[in-house]
Amino acid sequence: MTEPVAVLLQQLDRDLPVPRYAHPGDAGADLVAAQDVELQPGERALVGTGVAVALPYGYVGLVHPRSGLAAKLGVTVLNAPGTVDAGYRGEIKVNLVNLDPRHPAKIVRGDRIAQLVVQRVERANFHVVDALPGSGRGAGGHGSTGGHAGLRDAAQEGFRL
Ligand SMILES: O=c1ccn([C@H]2C[C@H](O)[C@@H](COP(=O)(O)OP(=O)(O)OP(=O)(O)O)O2)c(=O)[nH]1
Ligand SMILES: [Mg+2]
């Protein structure tokens, strides 16, 4: 097992718990809502978490949805995964959206609303060229390998990607 990376964390709201991993081996540390919010069907809100971090350069924080919230309420992270840059010092906020077509979703201060996954990240040097080297896939994408029943049905109805 690798050593956890040290991340400086500022509690902007000391009454809220520090993000924590629910189990050993969990990839994401749970982020909680700093405020109550009720989302009508289709509505979104930028919800504070009461924490700010200073990630070491070479790392990124990814704000992932929680599967339980998605399954139970239809609530997810609109820009999933959100990107927290190493240089960012503001409050981590979660752009929650209620995708349930019928029911409003109530989020209460302290509810776990998302999870922060801290990862190493590479940066690229982009070298502009006139033509790219060939590959097996080439420009094929967006379902070019086929084999999905739903896609076949859609094709029969005249839908083309
Ligand atoms: O879910 C998120 C995503 C981003 N951020 C913060 C940290 C991140 O470093 C900053 C900018 O995010 P991003 O680069 O995704 O947004 P942008 O629309 O490109 O804004 P900017 O012009 O500030 O980069 O906003 C969050 O708090 N939560
Ligand atoms: Mg940006």
CA–CA separation, 160 and 156 (whole Å): 9
Ligand 2 centre from 102 Cα, in Å? 33
Provide the pLDDT for residue 152: 63
The pLDDT mean for the chain works out to 94
Provide the pLDDT for residue 104: 98
133-158 pLDDT tens trace: 999 999 999 999 987 676 666 666 66
Provide the pLDDT for residue 158: 67
Provide the pLDDT for residue 1: 66
Q: If you take atom 1 of ligand 1, which residue's CA is the nearest one?
A: 82
| Interval 106-119 mean pLDDT | 98
Q: If you take atom 14 of ligand 1, which residue's CA is the nearest one?
A: 83
Q: Is 9 exposed, middle or buried (0-12, 13-18, 19+ CB in 10 A)?
A: middle
Provide the pLDDT for residue 160: 56
Q: Which ligand is nearest to the CA of 79?
A: 1
Cβ < 6 Å from ligand 1: which residues? 63, 79, 82-85, 88, 92-95
13-54 pLDDT tens trace: 999 999 999 999 999 999 999 999 999 999 999 999 999 999
Provide the pLDDT for residue 117: 98
Provide the pLDDT for residue 127: 98
| Interval 58-77 mean pLDDT | 98
Provide the pLDDT for residue 154: 62
List strand residue ranges (DSSP E) for the chain, in order: 8-11, 29-32, 37-39, 44-48, 51-54, 59-64, 75-77, 82-84, 93-98, 105-107, 112-120
Banded pLDDT at 2 (limits 50, 70, 90): confident
Q: pTM for this structure? A: 0.93
Dihedrals phi, psi of 46, to nearest 5 degrees: -90, 110
Q: If you take atom 16 of ligand 1, which residue's CA is the nearest one?
A: 83
By percentage, how much of the chain surpasses pLDDT 70? Answer: 91
